[in-house]
Chain A
Amino acid sequence: GNSVTQMEGPVTLSEEAFLTINCTYTATGYPSLFWYVQYPGEGLQLLLKATKADDKGSNKGFEATYRKETTSFHLEKGSVQVSDSAVYFCALRLMRGQLTFGSGTQLTVLP
């Protein structure tokens, strides 16, 4: 079946530190890949996405590259801010299928 594995949190960083949240997937086919972010007390919002191998999704300083050879979609940001504190979810979707989410990674950025 399809599954998404994220690095376990929580992750705590100081402001301006470099962020990596690992995400790997298992899928029968060629999925689209997503990162969603959930700020405290809110629903999930799409952060970025990639629909085919070697695509790079980017938004708000975050980036992730679709790596077919390693079945990965790691989220990175060069310099995190306190306002980036949230829960980050990696997800995949196959054609006509439903979204499959990872378990989420809690990020806390300290000033």
Chain B
Amino acid sequence: NAGVTQTPKFRVLKTGQSMTLLCAQDMNHEYMYWYRQDPGMGLRLIHYSVGEGTTAKGEVPDGYNVSRLKKQNFLLGLESAAPSQTSVYFCASRGLSGANVLTFGAGSRLTVL
């Protein structure tokens, strides 16, 4: 019962480097989300997907790209990392009949130097 799995758990980047965070869920959920969590600001939605092949912008999409080529995977990319993107990133998913309840991954801590 893996639920939502995020990789990697920790990563340190230099400014300008690129990387991809992977989110995988094994619950056949339609909806998937990427949030960032910063001190005193709660969780802010970056991008989300309502189904395979679809993506949409959330509250803070700038500097990020996403792809949902397979239903179970939702990738978050940083093309040119900036120190402002230092954060903890959470992936979440929800089924159609999930009564609005999100299942979260354990988080990925990213530091950009």
Binding site for B on A (CB under 8 A): 4, 32, 34, 41-46, 49, 89, 93, 98-99, 101-104
Given the interface pairs A98-B48, A98-B58, the reply to whether A46 lies near B102 with Cβ below 8 Å is yes
Instruction: For chain B, give the interface size range.
Output: 20 to 34
In the complex formed, the residue of B with least CB distance to A4 is B42
- Give every chain B residue within 8 A of A89 (Cβ-Cβ): 42-43
Within 8 Å by CB of B104, from A4, A45, A104, lies A45
Which residues of B are in contact with A by a Cβ distance under 8 Å?
4, 33, 40-45, 48, 58, 90, 92, 99-102, 104-107
Q: Which 7 residue pairs of A and B lie closest in terms of their CB atoms, listed nearest first?
A: A43-B104, A101-B42, A103-B42, A101-B43, A44-B104, A43-B106, A46-B101
29 A-B residue contacts at CB 8 Å? A4-B42, A32-B100, A34-B100, A42-B106, A43-B4, A43-B90, A43-B104, A43-B105, A43-B106, A43-B107, A44-B90, A44-B102, A45-B104, A49-B100, A49-B101, A89-B42, A89-B43, A93-B100, A98-B33, A98-B48, A98-B58, A99-B45, A99-B100, A101-B42, A101-B43, A102-B42, A103-B40, A103-B42, A104-B42
